[in-house]
Amino acid sequence: MIPFDFEYYKPQTAQEAYACMTSLKASSKKAFYYSGGTELVTLLRKEKIVADAIIDLKGISEMCRISNKEDFIVVGTCVSMNKAIEFGISDLIHTTFEKVADHTVRNALTVGGNLCGRLPFKEALLPLIALKAIAVVYGENGPKEIPLSSLFDKRLKLKADEFLYEMMIPHKMPEFTFAKRVTAGTAVDYPLIHLVATSDGEHTTVVLSGFANYPVFKVLPAVTTADQWMTQFEGLAKHDERGSASYRKHLLKVVIDEMMEVYPYAGT
C-alpha cells in the first residue's frame, strides 16, 4: 500500500498534460508524469518518491498507438514494450525489448517509461539510438523533434515539465545489426552488459547498457577495429554487486569479438 494519498489526473491531450503539470508546479505541488507505473508505484510504496500528484499520460490516445508517418514508424511513448514487440517494428527491437524485465511486466512497462525512469539501464534506448530514432518531446511550444542521440547524455535531457511524446523510427533498417546481453545469473535480471550495434557500411553505432553507470554509445567509422572499440568504452566499466569492472571489461571484449566475427566491414 502506498502510505500517502495523492491526486490523480488523466488528461486526454498532450496540451492538457503539459498545462496540468505547469499548473500543479505553480501551486507548489510535487507532480510526476506517469506512464506504465512499473517503477513509480514501487518507489511510491517504499516512499523513495513522495508525490502530491501524478499525471497519467495513457489517456492521450496518440501516445498509446503505433502508426506510420512517411519514412518513419511512430511509436507513442505510452505503448507497452510487449505491444512494440508484437507490432513487428524490427527484429532488433524485438530481440532487445524481449530481454527487458519479464513478459508480464512488459505488458505494463512502456517505451517512454523505460527511457525516462530512474533505473540506470534504460535498455529501450539501445535499439532506438542504434536505429537513429528521433524523439518527439512535448513542451511549452508543443511537440519538437530531436535526434535521440542528441537528447541523451547519461540521461534524457528534458527541460522542466517536458515529456517524451513519441519516438520516430526510420523505416529504412541498417544493413548490419547485432545484439548481445549478458546477465550475472538468470535471464530475468539487469544486464552486466547489453550491447547493440548497427552499421550502414560507413558508420557503426555501438550502444551499451549495464557496463557503465549509465548507457553509453559511440558512432565511429565502419572500419573501426575491435581494439579501438574497446578503447572507447573500457575506462567506463563500473564495479557493483553484479560484477567487477575487470569482469565487465572482459565481457566487453568477448562480446565485441563475437560481434566482429559476423561484422561484414572489418578491414574494408
**CB of 125 closer than 8 Å to CB of 215:** yes
Q: Which helix (DSSP H) or strand (DSSP E) does residue 95 occupy?
A: helix 91-97
CA distance 137 to 183: 32
**CB of 231 closer than 8 Å to CB of 220:** no
The count of chain residues that interact with other proteins, using the rule CB under 8 A, is: 36
CA distance 87 to 66: 8
Which range of residues in 99-107, 124-132, 176-184, 232-240 is near other proteins by CB under 8 A? 99-107
Beta bridge partners of 55: 9, 33
Contact between 4 and other proteins (CB under 8 A)?
yes
CA distance 217 to 256: 14
Contact between 230 and other proteins (CB under 8 A)?
no
Smallest Cα–Cα separation from 131: which of 101, 80, 97? 97
Binder to other proteins among 29, 32, 49, 56 (CB under 8 A)? Answer: 56
- According to CB under 8 A, which residues from 14 to 43 bind other proteins? 16, 20, 37-38, 41-42
- The smaller minimum CB distance to other proteins, of residues 37 and 139, is found at 37
Smallest Cα–Cα separation from 71: which of 147, 160, 133? 133
Assigned C-alpha cell, 11: 488528461
Contact between 194 and other proteins (CB under 8 A)?
no
> Could you identify the residue written with the cell 517505451?
111
- The smaller minimum CB distance to other proteins, of residues 59 and 139, is found at 59
CA distance 129 to 135: 10
- The smaller minimum CB distance to other proteins, of residues 41 and 222, is found at 41
Binder to other proteins among 26, 68, 70, 104 (CB under 8 A)? Answer: 104
Binder to other proteins among 49, 59, 162, 203 (CB under 8 A)? Answer: 59
Binder to other proteins among 23, 30, 45, 221 (CB under 8 A)? Answer: 45
Shortest approach of other proteins to residue 123 CB, angstroms?
16
CA-based radius of gyration for the chain? 19
Contact between 107 and other proteins (CB under 8 A)?
yes
Binder to other proteins among 28, 141, 187, 227 (CB under 8 A)? Answer: 187
Contact between 1 and other proteins (CB under 8 A)?
yes
Contact between 8 and other proteins (CB under 8 A)?
yes
- The smaller minimum CB distance to other proteins, of residues 119 and 254, is found at 119
- The smaller minimum CB distance to other proteins, of residues 81 and 135, is found at 81
Supply the angle between the helices 245-261 and 226-233 in degrees, to the nearest 10.
150
CA distance 194 to 249: 12
Site string for other proteins, 117-146 (x = CB under 8 A): ------------------------------
Beta bridge partners of 203: 221
Question: For binding to other proteins (CB under 8 A), which residues are involved?
Answer: 1-12, 16, 20, 37-38, 41-42, 44-45, 54, 56, 58-59, 82, 98, 101-105, 107-108, 186-188
